[in-house]
Structure 1
Amino acid sequence: MNWRALIAAAALVVCPALAAKPARTAGATLPVLVHAANDAREAANPGVVFVLLFSLPGCHYCEEVRNHYLAPLARDAANRGRLVVREIDLNSARALTDFDGTSTTQAAFARRLKVQFAPTVLFLDARGQQVASPLIGAGKADFYGAYLDDAIATGLKAAAR
C-alpha cells in the first residue's frame, strides 16, 4: 500500500463522513438551447440571465453540476422570468439559433463563446453578452453553490442595467 492510500484509509477511519457521497438526482435533465432569440423574447424581461451549461455526454462532472445545482435551479418557480437555464453539448452538430437569429450548431456556438472545457457554465443577458464570470469545471462541492449564487446575483444586476 502506498502512503497516499494509507493516509486516505486513516482519514476514513477518523472521519467516516468523508466516504459519503452526495445523493444523486437520477436522470435530471435540462432543456437544450435550440433558439436563444426565441427564449429571450419569451422571457419578456430584458433583465433575464441565461445560465448555460456546456457539457459532454458521459461527463461525470457535468452530471454533478446538472443534477445537483442547475436542474433544481431550473425547477424553482422563484426563478421564472429571471433565469433561463439551458444545456449545450460542446461537440454537437445539432442546430441552434443564436441570440442574433443566425443559424449555427451547438459546437460552433461553444467555440464562438470560447468554451473549451466541460462543464462550463456561462451567464449571458438576453442579447447574448456575458454578465458574470464563467464557472469552469465542477470545483469543490462545498463552494460550488456559493460560486453559482454569486455569479447569478452579479448577472442579474448587470442584466438589469
Structure 2
Amino acid sequence: MNSFYVNKVFLMILLLLNSTVFAKEITTVKNFSKDAKISLQQHKPIFLYVSSISCVYCKRLDKDVIGPMLKSGDYEKKIIMRKITLEDTDPIIDFNGKLVIPEDFLVDYKINATPTLLFLDHQGKQLSKPLEGYLSADLFWYYLDKAIDRSVEKLRAKSH
C-alpha cells in the first residue's frame, strides 16, 4: 500500500515536470519597432513564427521543434523569437512604428500556409527563404538551423 502512494506521488511529480518543460512560449508580437532596435543592437535576426489556432501542424511544430528550441536556450542567443497567430486581432506596431492589425501586416509576406517561419532583419526584410509547413522533425531541424545560420550571417555582413 505504501509503495502505491509513493509511485502515485512520483508519477504526479513527473507529470508536473513534463508540463513545465513546454510551459515557456514564444513571445507574441506586440511591437516590431522595439524588436527592430534590439535586432540592430544585438545583430540578431527576428524569427517570426506564423501560426493558426486551428492548425494541427502548428501544434506538432510546437511540440517537436519550438518547445525544444525554447527549452535549450541556445536559440535565444542567436535570434529574437516572436510569434503571430492569424486569428490575432489586437493591433501591433509594425517596423515603421505604425499601428496595424496582424492580418494587414502579414499581407506583405504572402503567407500561404501555417506554420510559416520568417527570418527578418531590423527593417522587416527577409534574410532567408521562409520555412512553410511542417510534417516531421526529421529534416526540419536541418533546414531550420541552416535558415537561422544564413540569416545571422547576412545580418552581420550588413552591419560591417
Q: Offset of 1:73 from its aligned partner?
A: 2.4
Contact 2:47 2:119 in 1 (8 A): yes
Q: Distance in 1 between matches of 2:114 and 2:44?
A: 24
Contact 2:45 2:122 in 1 (8 A): yes
Tell me the amino acid that sits aligned with residue 27 of structure 2: P
For normalisation by structure 2, the TM-score amounts to: 0.76
Structure 1 segments of 4 or more deviating over 4 A? 23-28
Decide which moves more: 119-128 or 69-78: 69-78
Instruction: Give the structure 2 partner of residue 60 of structure 1.
Output: 56
1:106 aligned onto 2:102: yes
Instruction: Give the structure 1 partner of residue 11 of structure 2.
Output: none
Percent of aligned pairs with the same amino acid: 24
Q: Offset of 1:139 from its aligned partner?
A: 3.6
Contact 1:29 1:71 in 2 (8 A): yes
Contact 2:31 2:92 in 1 (8 A): yes
Q: Distance in 1 between matches of 2:72 and 2:95?
A: 24
Q: Distance in 1 between matches of 2:77 and 2:140?
A: 23
Q: Distance in 2 between matches of 1:28 and 1:114?
A: 28
Please list every run of 5 or more consecutive structure 1 residues that lacks an aligned counterpart in the other structure.
1-22
Contact 2:53 2:85 in 1 (8 A): yes
Instruction: Give the structure 2 partner of residue 126 of structure 1.
Output: 122
Q: Offset of 1:109 from its aligned partner?
A: 1.3
Instruction: Give the structure 2 partner of residue 84 of structure 1.
Output: 80
Tell me the amino acid that sits aligned with residue 66 of structure 2: L
SS of 2:83's partner is strand
Q: Residue 160 of structure 1 is aligned with which of 149, 156, 160?
A: 156
Please list every run of 5 or more consecutive structure 2 residues that lacks an aligned counterpart in the other structure.
1-17
Q: Offset of 1:117 from its aligned partner?
A: 1.1
- Supply the RMSD in Å over aligned alpha carbons: 2.3
SS of 2:96's partner is coil
Distance 1:72 1:29, change over 3 A: same
Alignment: residue pair count: 139
Q: Residue 131 of structure 2 is aligned with which of 131, 135, 143?
A: 135
Q: Offset of 1:105 from its aligned partner?
A: 1.2
Distance 1:44 1:159, change over 3 A: closer
Distance 1:63 1:31, change over 3 A: same
Which structure 2 residues correspond to residues 9-48 of structure 1 after superposition, within 5 A? 29-43=25-39, 45=41, 47-48=43-44
Distance 1:80 1:26, change over 3 A: closer
Tell me the amino acid that sits aligned with residue 37 of structure 2: R
